[in-house]
Amino acid sequence: MLHIYNTLSRAKEPLKTVEPGQVRMYVCGMTVYDFCHLGHARMLVSFDVVQRWLRCSGYQVNYVRNITDIDDKIIRRAVQSGRRMNEVTSFYIDAMHADEQALGVAAPDAEPRATEHVGEMLGIIKLLEDKGLAYQSDDGDVNYAVREFPGYGKLSGKSLDDLRAGERVAVASAKRDPLDFVLWKSAKADEPPESKWDSPYGMGRPGWHIECSAMSKALLDLPLDIHGGGPDLKFPHHENEIAQTEGAFGGSLASIWMHCGPLMVDADKMSKSLGNFRTIRATVAADAGLPDDQARYEANPREAEMLRFFIVRNHYRSPQNYAPDNLLDAQNALDRLYQTLHNVPAEPIEIDWSAPAARAFREAMDDDFNTAGAVAVLFELSTEANRTGSATTAGLLRSLGGVLGLLQADPARYLQSPSRYQRSGSADTVLSGEQIEALIQARADAKQQRNFAEADRIRSELQAAGVELEDKAGGVTQWRRA
């Protein structure tokens, strides 16, 4: 049985869904005012693996991941760039989708936008007001009365006395309590017209937290089986979601809460606010000089799969450190698996989950999506396939890799693709496939003429450029980038 670590109970629990065989999963998505960075990549890939394994385990999954397309940062970006808000958000949504495609992240079953659900948000605010959990302050904002909700703090484990206002919760004198957070923001005169909606509380826009309460209820109903997101959302965002949803409708918002671990850079979390982030596109784009006015791009398939592998080889809840050397290590490790599939062509197979390796893979994934353990199984299969030359073993390696969204490229094409994250070679010596083939032919001609010194020189030139040759029977030479 699948067990998942529940942030709410702080323990692993068996997955027990509201409807047998069906999973309703809601994950908080992006605020689309800038390009996604590698911390976002970790969240996207982690929950993509979750939904893949749930489906592989026989569940019918309804996976919803929202888009925040109304927010202070979006308004600021629109004003600074002289564009309308929907132009800004459409551009960065396209960019996000390009990143997802590069990383092999499947589209969610639904991708609601906050601006499409303002009516539902106002309905929840009215319910909260009627129950004494919301009030309109003198500045026109509608706030949630945190101390009126008895369960506040149960997700984060914080007491009310320890709590501080969250990153997006402004502490204003108009609030009854500095811990109260905004549900509806009164419009300001200098804000663009498209950022304002009419409401019983005057012109304004929704606060950040109310969005997900409305969208999860509208698309999945309550309770959710799984609610997930990045590590920084546990407080205040998810804590506030619980207060809003459970305060308005009673019952439970979600049975299991999942949070992936942070991506660290020198002991600090990667984030835009700290300025220590690296974007997905800068890491995997085939054109490293991609301009900032281009949303969609072509990814380098080898580097894109390397980044996915870099994320998947770690358990989703553990902190993970970003460094160029770690990407290099991930590239080299993934290359070894592809080298196996190149040396031992895989036989297409259907996974027999009773087989020892497949059973070990399943046991790892059923233990809170332990992808680190599952990847260890892949390397054990790689060792066995190299030792025995078994096409069936290689087929199981490829099929189990596919469950994680890995190892589905043609091995020869993959190994011949250039990468900035490789063991040898340098940016100054990257050769095109045509150049490599020409040098291999020149080496063959030199050998035919018994000019072995020239043949050795060409081989050394290719090695210096990070290209390894393998001479096969019949005079055939295969090559790969090292």
pLDDT score of 425: 46
pLDDT score of 420: 86
pLDDT in tens, 26-56: 999 999 999 999 999 999 999 999 999 999 9
Q: Has 56 been labeled as part of a binding site?
A: no
Same-domain status, 49 and 162: yes
Residue 275 clears pLDDT 80, i.e. is over it: no
Mean pLDDT of the region 76-105: 97
CATH of the domain at 126: 3.40.50.620
State the pLDDT confidence band at 444, using cuts at 50, 70 and 90.
confident
> In the predicted model, what is the mean pLDDT of the chain?
92
Q: Has 212 been labeled as part of a binding site?
A: yes
> Which tokens go with 195?
């950022």
In a domain, 65, yes or no: yes
Q: How many independent structural domains does the chain possess?
A: 3
Same-domain status, 21 and 116: yes
Cite the beta strand spans of 68-198 per DSSP E: 134-136, 142-144, 181-186
Compare 329 and 454 and report the one with higher pLDDT: 329
In a domain, 422, yes or no: no
DSSP one-letter string for 217-267: HHHH-SSEEEEEE-GGGIIIIIHHHHHHHHHHH-S-SEEEEEEPPPEEETT
Window from 3-12, 77-86, 156-165, 302-311 with minimum mean pLDDT: 156-165
Same-domain status, 189 and 208: yes
Compare 420 and 118 and report the one with higher pLDDT: 118
pLDDT score of 165: 45
Burial 91-104 (b: 16+ CB within 10 A, else e): bbbebbebbbebbb
Residue recorded with tokens 């419009």: 187
Compare 74 and 291 and report the one with higher pLDDT: 74
Secondary structure tally for the chain: helices H, strands E: 15, 15
pLDDT score of 164: 55
Residue 464 clears pLDDT 60, i.e. is over it: yes
pLDDT score of 167: 39
CA–chain centroid gap for 457, Å, is 45
State how beta strands 477-481 and 467-471 pair: antiparallel
Same-domain status, 72 and 137: yes
Same-domain status, 432 and 395: no
In a domain, 140, yes or no: yes
CA gap 238, 166 in Å, rounded: 11
Same-domain status, 219 and 353: no
Range of the domain at 382: 322-416
Same-domain status, 462 and 341: no
pLDDT in tens, 175-211: 999 999 999 999 999 999 999 999 999 999 999 999 9
pLDDT score of 288: 74
pLDDT score of 268: 75
3-state SS, residue 23 = strand
Domain boundary among 228, 246, 264: 264
Q: Has 237 been labeled as part of a binding site?
A: yes
In a domain, 384, yes or no: yes
Same-domain status, 24 and 139: yes
Same-domain status, 360 and 450: no
In a domain, 294, yes or no: no
State how beta strands 224-229 and 263-265 pair: unpaired
pLDDT score of 404: 98
Domain boundary among 395, 416, 437: 416
State the pLDDT confidence band at 428, using cuts at 50, 70 and 90.
low
To which H or E segment does residue 40 belong? helix 38-56
Q: Has 272 been labeled as part of a binding site?
A: yes
User: What does pTM read for this prediction?
Assistant: 0.91
Q: Which residues contact 189 (CB under 8 A, 6 or more apart)?
A: none
* Greatest Cα-to-Cα distance within the chain, rounded to the nearest angstrom: 92
In a domain, 330, yes or no: yes
State the pLDDT confidence band at 163, using cuts at 50, 70 and 90.
low
CA gap 344, 86 in Å, rounded: 51
In a domain, 16, yes or no: yes
Residue 276 clears pLDDT 80, i.e. is over it: no
Q: Has 260 been labeled as part of a binding site?
A: no
Same-domain status, 447 and 329: no
CA gap 124, 141 in Å, rounded: 15
| Cβ count near 189 (within 10 Å) | 4
State the pLDDT confidence band at 423, using cuts at 50, 70 and 90.
low
Same-domain status, 440 and 411: no
pLDDT in tens, 281-333: 999 999 878 888 999 999 999 999 999 999 999 999 999 998 888 999 999 99
Same-domain status, 56 and 192: yes
Domain boundary among 264, 279, 314: 264
pLDDT in tens, 148-159: 999 999 999 988
In a domain, 198, yes or no: yes
CATH of the domain at 364: 1.20.120.640
Window from 76-80, 243-247, 367-371, 438-442 with minimum mean pLDDT: 438-442
